[in-house]
């Protein structure tokens, strides 16, 4: 008996010892990462929820904030307006994106490379810049399109009024459809032509096959796109501020802005923001339940060849549609923005005596902040991209190799910020970190932290996808030869992931350069970024200088993305060959 | 006689120059810096040579011009010009105060109510500039305690696009804006953003009661943000009438070649007094004081006039074709009315106009 | 009139001639395989029959009507054919029932009728109890059955199968071979079956067309193809064989190490010059004593060089005492000859196929 108990104790002791041994340096690193995630994601969200239930200045528990936030009819109206905007944008963006994605991925439509480039241009354009362009195009009395209409038909007034819910939906949809496009075309690239052939030979022609077989097969991607468009739309601040205000309606984001007027009512803002969070969570739940048991990928491995469908004369119709969408999202707005950027007074139109370089000169030479602002934008975005990718890669690694228990919680936290509209996240950050003890108000730090959190979901999804494609046996080979885990990561994993990471970097960098909704609350006088400056410029109606700044932003972003594309060597917009 | 005296002066000073006696004095950047200015200037350079200025007093271009002028007058002191609308500037400054991280050194809002509030909260620094006594009488003495001073002024009238509206048909008074013939053709700003618009709305409420705005709302005006938005609308041809037209911006636009004209309403143009103050806790107090002096100097007024705004110094005459505030019938609310009234007006505006 | 007729069918891709002058006729209800290695043009031929690819030369006719020609083709959706794909191409977002019903719904058949026919068909393929499952919930064999049901339920004039069994494991493959043949027999569908596996072709087909480099080398029923291969390629492709060369001088054929009279052979053998024969490994017999002379049989002495025991049979490599020729022989598992042993090899010249 004594022997046995001795054995038992020995076993127990060695168990504890081995667990302690496992607590090596890498484990501490993982714990640090988890703490970081809690700081970035959990704390602001919690602060937000707590703030909403706190009384201003005293901190006592109260529901008063919710009463103030929702007791007002106008506030409720803003909420329904946001929903209307979200649904409208989601539907319109889908109508834009899906046919084009289908045409590019599965048919012999000509001009694919050009259309792809235009979709990318739409992706790079910030919605508020697109809004400015469309104001210049479709202002009810002065917009170019209306002037053309009036000239052609002799009518007394134009037919397009951008200052309307319809106008706002259009403006937002033309800059957010690229997301749906990318998801849908990636998914379509994976559908084997045999799926379509099977329907074909049973008697279904191209249209019926597309509607009943091909598109239903990519339903998850389309739904993903719908959800993202919806969430983007309800969280936007810039475009609604420019268009909804003159149209005399409010949406949740512009209403939230009012809570930040003097006196600053963070608590009421937090309470008002809660439904946005609830809606987003609802969206994701809806997505999971809609998709359910059905499978969507081809169940066998072989036969994945993809052939282009010959459309005959219809390919010109598809190209026409694609070019129409490109005109709405890129050609027309860019044209007017360029005209305004080089104009003395944009209202005077296209004439030689109206041309000038002065706007650019003013920005780059006379205006003292512009240079700093431009620099800030790209530096902050670059740092954000690096931070987001590093953090998300580390977390993705921990999750995929199951290094800690409940690693799925980590994955959830990484993706959770997606659920929070940018403006709400900024308020949370503001509540959590702007005042003392951290006192990060007006620093570059709080801006970068906010951005990093905001774009963590994109970074994480890309990193996780990249990691999934790498066989763990690669690292195991290093470890069995005596190398540590960190060595395996440095020498094997990261080199293998280089291209995928570079693509993810750009996917974070570009939206960061154009981010307005979260920036507007977090910038200080020395940390202004281009998006906020554009917004401020729009307040004084200086469209000429504003357009020039917008042009600078677009050129620089495209240049950087172009360099990135060369480095990566493949289209980072998730295109497969 | 006068001429001889001048010639003598010229000869004399040339001799002076030739002898190089005044060398030291000539090396000084500002030919007429008072000793007080000199003192502030040196101290400003020592504390870092920098200044952050939040201003809603003008558009970006004018604000930048003022900043550059200051920098060239006092080399070595940099000005960070941050131009926004008044409410946005106020919002930023109050955020900073709440976060105990004041970045703004000089605060210039177009809503005098802001200064009153900030003074009451103890957020302002007391300083009476030398130049305070040298401005026009109508701009003197709004805060005898010396926490805020009027450094710029503006007039609001009615503007119209001459290509769309004949002079004879144009509105002559504020009440003409209610005429249904202007339906869908009036541009306004928003008091929730612009201090000018807030003061204008308050003035007209005092004059005509809030029913004026309820009736105005029926004419479907285009509501922007800044008061300058109205001029943009006119220039673009989007609206025919600027219901609250900033005279300075209108004049500038006319000079650029746009087909605009100004009406000084018969019941009176609204006079805006825009104050500046030094923030307590400012990191550059001496630069801030120097800047306050500058804002009330002749140089600054010259720049205002060059950009078609009001001059606050008697030495500088108004821009060509414009009438100075002191020569016009003007109406404006009292400071006390502004402090209480503008938040009220913002609320009423939101109810009436929906945003 | 034949059901399906391919006349001089060719397909060229740039410089590459994938299909080179195919002539084939199928009678109604016939089951014909296109058998050959990868790249021989069988899948391209099948896709031309289906209408997914247009021919460069030649025609495809069904019941006398031209379906495909270089001038133009009727598209696949109007050919009244059916196809089973290598990947089955079962739509994963539809249930088994919905998959099978698809073709019927396209033909505007009444709902009640659709349900009935789908139910019947699923019964036939033993999948009725899984009608509401999604493909992701099915095994490989079950998915295969769904593909078959979907294809046959619409009563196609021609059923096309493109290597349908290549994704299955050996046992399942055997089972499904019989299934396919059984369904064919039950519904009398004219069938074209593409495969590279000769066992599949042998089990299922009425006739097999052996293809190589875009041409048909021989079309025949499985037994004739096996026993009387017309070309070297066919002989080597279908089952294993020995190739032996001899020289004929009119009366007898001299091989390396032995000779045989020309009269002993069944078919026409060249009277002069080179004669090549295919001799199947199990058409010969090994014994340790000289076999008694029998009519039509010859025997020679051999030495055993190599051997391998495969459970169901022995594979031997033997060499006649004279000459350098080696022969593969397959015997029953009971015939145990050690390496180096001498033995007698008995074979029947009638079973030696003369190769052109």
pLDDT in tens, C305-339: 999 999 999 999 999 888 888 899 999 998 889 99
Residue B21 has pLDDT above 50, yes or no: no
Q: Cβ(A234)–Cβ(A252) under 8 Å?
A: yes
Residues of A in contact with C82 (CB under 8 A): 201-202
ipTM above 0.90? no
List the end-to-end C-alpha distance of chain B, in Å, as a whole number.
Answer: 67
| Min distance C136 CA to chain A CA atoms (Å) | 6
Say whether A536 and B88 touch across the interface (CB within 8 A). Answer: yes
**Residue A91 structure tokens:** 């539907």
Per-residue pLDDT of A328-351, as tens digits, reads: 999 999 998 998 899 887 766 777
Give the total number of structural domains in chain C.
2
Please write the tens of the pLDDT for every residue from C44-62: 999 999 998 899 999 999 9
Q: Which of A501, A538, A535, A539 is nearest to A520 (CA)?
A: A535
What tens digit of pLDDT does each residue of A396-447 get?
A: 888 887 777 677 777 777 877 876 778 778 878 877 787 767 777 778 999 9
Residue among C52, C151, C154 minimizing CB distance to A197 = C52
Residue A255 Cα distances to A176, A514, A521, B69, angstroms: 22, 21, 14, 39
Nearest-5° angle of CA A381, CA A383, CA A387? Answer: 115
* CATH assignment at residue C189: 3.40.50.300
**Contact call for A293 and C134, based on CB within 8 A:** yes
Scanning every residue of chain C, which has its alpha carbon at the shortest distance from the alpha carbon of A297?
C92
Q: Is B179 left (phi over 0), alpha (psi -120 to 50) or beta?
A: beta
Q: What are phi and psi of C57, to 5 degrees?
A: -140, 160
Task: Based on the fold, state whether residues A332 and A383 are members of the same structural domain.
Answer: no
Contact B85 A539 (CB under 8 A): yes
| CA separation, residue B309 to residues A380, A412, B107, B298, B316 (Å) | 38, 57, 19, 14, 11
* A392 plus A425 within the same structural domain: yes
Q: Which CATH architecture has domain B2-151+274-318?
A: 3-Layer(aba) Sandwich (3.40)
Same domain, C141 and C256: no
Query: Is there contact between B and C if contact means ≥3 C-beta pairs under 8 Å?
Result: no
A266 and A362 inside one domain: no
- Per-residue pLDDT, A307: 81
Q: What CATH number should be reported for the domain holding residue A343?
A: 1.10.3720.10
Q: How many CA atoms lie within 13 A of A164 on its CB side?
A: 10
From the CA of B25, how many Å to the nearest CA of chain A? 30
Domain that holds residue C145: 4-234
Query: pLDDT tens-digit profile of A297-333?
Result: 544 444 467 788 888 888 999 999 999 999 999 999 9
**Domain carrying residue A209:** 63-291+311-349
Taken in order A258, A259, A264, A269, is the CA torsion positive or negative?
negative
- Tens of pLDDT, residue by residue over B165-201, are 998 999 999 999 999 999 989 999 999 888 889 999 9
Residue A534 lies in a domain: yes
Based on the fold, state whether residues C17 and C135 are members of the same structural domain.
yes
Least Cα separation, residue C107 to chain A (angstroms)? 8
- Assess whether C103 and C160 both reside in one domain: yes
- A552 neighbors A374 (Cβ within 8 angstroms): yes
| Topology, domain B154-271+328-353 | D-Maltodextrin-Binding Protein; domain 2 (3.40.190)
Q: Which of B95, B104, B225 sits opposite A441 (nearest CB)?
A: B95
Contacts of B103 in chain A (CB under 8 A): 442, 524-526
Using 50, 70 and 90 to split pLDDT, how confident is the model at B241?
very high
Contacts of A241 in chain B (CB under 8 A): 225
Q: What is the pLDDT of residues A532-574, one digit of tens each?
A: 888 888 877 778 888 999 999 888 888 887 887 777 665 544 4
pLDDT digits (tens, 9 = 90+) for A113-169: 999 989 988 988 888 899 989 988 898 877 888 888 888 888 777 788 899 999 999
Residues whose CB is less than 8 angstroms from the CB of residue C152 and which lie 6 or more positions away in sequence, other chains included:
C82, C121, C159, C183, C187, C189
* Tens of pLDDT, residues A60-98: 788 888 888 888 888 889 989 999 999 999 999 999 999
pLDDT at B3: 40
C102 → closest Cβ in A199, A296, A301 = A199
Closest by Cα among C94, C224, C83 to C161:
C83
CA dist., res. B137 & res. C71, Å (int)? 98
Residue of B156, B186, B155 lying closest to B170 (CA atoms): B186
- Say whether pLDDT at A26 is over 70: no
* Chains adjacent to B (≥3 CB pairs closer than 8 angstroms): A
d(CA A88, CA A65): 30
> Chains A and B: how many Cβ contacts under 8 Å?
141
Rounded Cα distance between A178 and A322, Å, is 12
Residue (of A405, A401, A564, A388) closest to A461 by Cα position: A388
Say whether A347 and B64 touch across the interface (CB within 8 A): no
In the block, tokens 């089951």 appear at: C31
Q: Look at residue B152 and give its three-state secondary structure.
A: strand
Contact C106 A298 (CB under 8 A): no
Work out the percent of chain C whose per-residue pLDDT is above 90.
48
Going by C-beta distance under 8 Å and a sequence separation of 6 or more, which residues neighbour residue B220? B183, B184, B186
With H, G, I as helix, E, B as strand and everything else as coil, classify residue C31.
strand
> What distance in Å separates the CA atoms of residue A494 and residue A396, rounded to the nearest whole number?
13
* Angstroms from C80 CA to nearest CA on chain A: 7
Q: Are A245 and A538 in contact (CB under 8 A)?
A: no
* pLDDT per position as a tens digit, C19-40: 999 999 999 999 999 999 988 9
Please tell me which chains touch A, using 3 or more CB pairs under 8 Å as the contact test: B, C
C229 & C271 share domain: no
Is residue C75 scored above 70 in pLDDT? yes
Q: Tell me the shortest Cα–Cα distance from A126 to chain C, in angstroms.
A: 37
C-alpha distance from A351 to closest chain B C-alpha (Å) = 14
Local confidence band at C95 (pLDDT 50, 70, 90 cut-offs): very high
Predicted TM-score (pTM) of the model is: 0.80
Q: Do the domains B154-271+328-353 and B2-151+274-318 match in fold?
A: yes
Domain ranges of chain B: 2-151+274-318, 154-271+328-353
What proportion of chain B, given as a percentage, has pLDDT over 70? 91
Residue B326, pLDDT above cutoff 80: no
Nearest to C179 by CA among C146, C154, C153, C210: C146
Is there a domain that residue A201 lies in? Answer: yes
The domain tally of chain A equals 2
Phi, psi of C298, rounded to the nearest 5 degrees:
-130, 155
Q: Note whether residue A29 is domain-resident.
A: no
């Amino acid at each position: 008996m004594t022997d046995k108990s001795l054995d038992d104790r020995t076993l127990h002791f060695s168990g504890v010892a081995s667990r302690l041994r496992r607590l090596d340096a890498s484990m501490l690193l993982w714990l640090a990462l988890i703490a970081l995630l809690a700081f970035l994601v959990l704390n602001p969200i919690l602060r937000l929820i707590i703030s909403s239930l706190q009384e201003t200045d005293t901190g006592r528990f109260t529901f008063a904030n919710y009463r103030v936030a929702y007791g007002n009819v106008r506030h409720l109206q803003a909420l329904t307006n946001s929903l209307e905007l979200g649904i409208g944008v989601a539907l319109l963006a889908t109508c834009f994106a899906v046919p084009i994605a289908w045409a590019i991925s599965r048919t012999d439509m000509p001009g694919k490379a050009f259309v792809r480039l235009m979709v990318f241009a739409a992706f790079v354009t910030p919605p508020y810049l697109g809004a400015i362009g469309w104001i210049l195009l479709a202002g009810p009395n002065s917009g170019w399109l209306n002037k053309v209409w009036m000239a052609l038909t002799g009518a007394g007034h134009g037919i397009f009024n951008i200052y309307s819910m319809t106008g706002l939906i259009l403006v937002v949809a033309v800059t957010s459809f690229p997301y749906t496009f990318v998801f849908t075309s990636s998914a379509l690239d994976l559908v084997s032509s045999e799926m379509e052939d099977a329907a074909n030979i049973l008697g279904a022609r191209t249209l019926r096959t597309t509607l009943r077989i091909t598109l239903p097969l990519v339903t998850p991607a389309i739904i993903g796109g719908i959800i993202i468009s919806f969430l983007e739309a309800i969280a936007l601040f810039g475009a609604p501020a420019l268009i909804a205000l003159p149209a005399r309606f409010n949406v949740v984001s512009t209403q939230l802005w009012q809570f930040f007027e003097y006196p600053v009512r963070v608590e009421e803002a937090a309470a008002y923001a809660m439904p946005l969070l609830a809606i987003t969570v609802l969206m994701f739940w809806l997505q999971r339940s809609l998709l359910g048991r059905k499978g969507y990928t081809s169940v066998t491995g072989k036969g994945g060849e993809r052939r282009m469908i010959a459309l005959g004369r219809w390919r010109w119709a598809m190209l026409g549609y694609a070019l129409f969408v490109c005109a709405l999202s890129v050609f027309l707005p860019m044209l007017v923005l360029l005209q305004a950027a080089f104009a003395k007074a944009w209202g005077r139109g296209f004439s030689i005596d109206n041309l000038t370089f002065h706007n650019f000169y003013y920005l780059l030479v006379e205006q003292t902040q512009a240079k700093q602002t431009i620099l800030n934008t790209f530096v902050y975005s670059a740092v954000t991209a690096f931070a987001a990718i590093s953090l998300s890669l580390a977390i993705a690694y921990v999750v995929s190799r199951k290094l800690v228990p409940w690693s799925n919680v980590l994955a959830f936290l990484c993706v959770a910020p997606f659920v929070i509209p940018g403006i709400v996240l900024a308020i949370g950050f503001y509540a959590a970190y702007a005042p003392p003890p951290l006192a990060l108000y007006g620093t570059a730090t709080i801006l970068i932290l906010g951005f990093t959190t905001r774009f963590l979901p994109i970074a994480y999804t890309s990193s996780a996808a990249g990691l999934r494609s790498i066989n763990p046996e690669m690292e195991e080979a290093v470890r069995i030869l005596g190398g540590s885990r960190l060595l395996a990561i440095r020498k094997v994993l990261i080199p293998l992931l280089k291209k995928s990471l570079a693509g993810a970097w750009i996917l974070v960098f570009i939206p960061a350069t154009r981010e307005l909704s979260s920036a507007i609350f977090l910038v200080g006088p020395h940390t202004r970024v281009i998006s906020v400056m554009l917004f401020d410029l729009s307040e004084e109606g200086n469209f000429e200088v504003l357009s020039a700044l917008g042009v600078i932003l677009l050129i620089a972003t495209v240049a950087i993305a172009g360099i990135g594309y060369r480095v990566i060597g493949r289209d980072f917009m998730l295109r497969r060959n | 006689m006068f001429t001889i005296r001048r010639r003598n002066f010229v000869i004399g000073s040339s001799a002076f120059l030739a002898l190089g006696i005044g060398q030291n004095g000539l090396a000084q950047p500002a030919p007429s810096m008072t000793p007080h200015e000199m003192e502030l200037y040196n101290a400003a350079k020592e504390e870092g040579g920098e200044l952050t200025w939040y201003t809603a007093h003008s558009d970006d271009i004018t604000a930048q011009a003022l900043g550059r002028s200051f920098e060239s007058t006092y080399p070595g002191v940099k000005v960070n010009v941050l131009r926004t609308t008044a409410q946005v500037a106020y919002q930023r400054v109050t955020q900073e105060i709440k976060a105990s991280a004041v970045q703004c050194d000089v605060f210039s809002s177009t809503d005098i109510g802001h200064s009153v509030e900030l003074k009451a909260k103890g957020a302002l620094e007391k300083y009476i500039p030398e130049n305070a006594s040298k401005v026009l009488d109508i701009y003197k003495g709004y805060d005898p305690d010396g926490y805020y001073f009027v450094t710029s002024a503006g007039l609001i009238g009615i503007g119209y696009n001459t290509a769309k509206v004949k002079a004879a048909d144009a509105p002559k008074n504020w009440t003409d804006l209610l005429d249904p013939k202007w339906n869908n053709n009036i541009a306004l700003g928003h008091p929730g953003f612009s201090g000018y618009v807030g003061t204008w709305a308050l003035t007209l409420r005092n004059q005509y009661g809030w029913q004026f705005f309820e009736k105005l709302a029926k004419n479907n005006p285009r509501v922007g943000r800044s008061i300058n938005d109205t001029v943009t609308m006119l220039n673009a041809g989007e609206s025919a009438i600027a219901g609250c037209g900033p005279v300075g911006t209108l004049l500038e636009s006319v000079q650029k070649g746009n087909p605009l004209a100004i009406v000084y309403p018969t019941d009176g143009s609204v006079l805006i007094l825009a104050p500046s103050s030094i923030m307590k806790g400012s990191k550059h107090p001496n630069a801030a004081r120097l800047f306050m002096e500058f804002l009330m100097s002749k140089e600054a007024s010259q720049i205002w006039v060059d950009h078609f705004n009001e001059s606050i110094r008697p030495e500088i005459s108004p821009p060509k074709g414009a009438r100075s505030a002191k020569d016009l019938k003007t109406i404006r609310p009292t400071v006390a009315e502004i402090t209480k009234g503008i938040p009220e007006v913002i609320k009423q505006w939101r109810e009436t106009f929906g945003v | 009139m034949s059901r399906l007729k391919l006349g001089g069918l060719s397909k060229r891709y740039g410089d590459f001639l994938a299909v080179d002058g195919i002539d084939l006729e199928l009678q109604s209800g016939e089951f014909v395989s296109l058998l050959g290695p990868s790249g021989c043009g069988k899948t391209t031929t099948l896709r031309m029959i289906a209408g997914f690819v247009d021919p460069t030369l030649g025609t495809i006719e069904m019941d006398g009507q031209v379906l495909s020609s270089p001038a133009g083709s009727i598209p696949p959706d109007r050919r009244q054919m059916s196809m089973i794909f290598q990947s089955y191409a079962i739509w994963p977002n539809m249930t088994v029932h919905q998959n099978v019903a698809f073709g019927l719904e396209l033909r505007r058949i009444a709902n009640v009728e659709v349900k009935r026919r789908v139910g019947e068909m699923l019964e036939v393929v033993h999948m009725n109890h899984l009608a509401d499952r999604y493909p992701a919930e099915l095994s490989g064999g079950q998915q295969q059955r769904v593909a078959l049901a979907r294809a046959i339920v619409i009563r196609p004039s021609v059923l096309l199968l493109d290597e349908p069994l290549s994704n299955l494991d050996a046992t399942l493959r055997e089972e499904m071979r019989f299934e396919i043949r059984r369904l064919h027999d039950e519904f009398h569908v004219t069938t074209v079956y593409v495969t590279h596996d000769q066992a599949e072709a042998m089990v299922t087909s009425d006739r097999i067309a052996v293809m190589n480099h875009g041409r048909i080398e021989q079309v025949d029923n499985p037994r004739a193809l096996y026993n009387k291969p017309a070309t070297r390629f066919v002989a080597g492709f279908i089952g294993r064989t020995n190739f032996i060369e001899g020289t004929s001088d009119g009366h007898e054929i001299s091989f390396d190490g032995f000779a045989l009279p020309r009269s002993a052979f069944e078919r026409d053998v060249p009277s002069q010059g080179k004669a090549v024969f295919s001799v199947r490994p199990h058409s010969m017999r090994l014994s340790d004593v000289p076999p008694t002379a029998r009519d039509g049989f010859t025997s020679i002495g051999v030495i055993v060089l190599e051997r391998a025991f495969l459970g169901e049979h022995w594979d031997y490599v033997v060499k006649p005492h004279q000459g350098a020729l080696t022969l593969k022989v397959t015997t029953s598992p009971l015939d145990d000859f050690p390496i180096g042993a001498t033995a007698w090899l008995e074979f029947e010249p009638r079973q030696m196929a003369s190769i052109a």
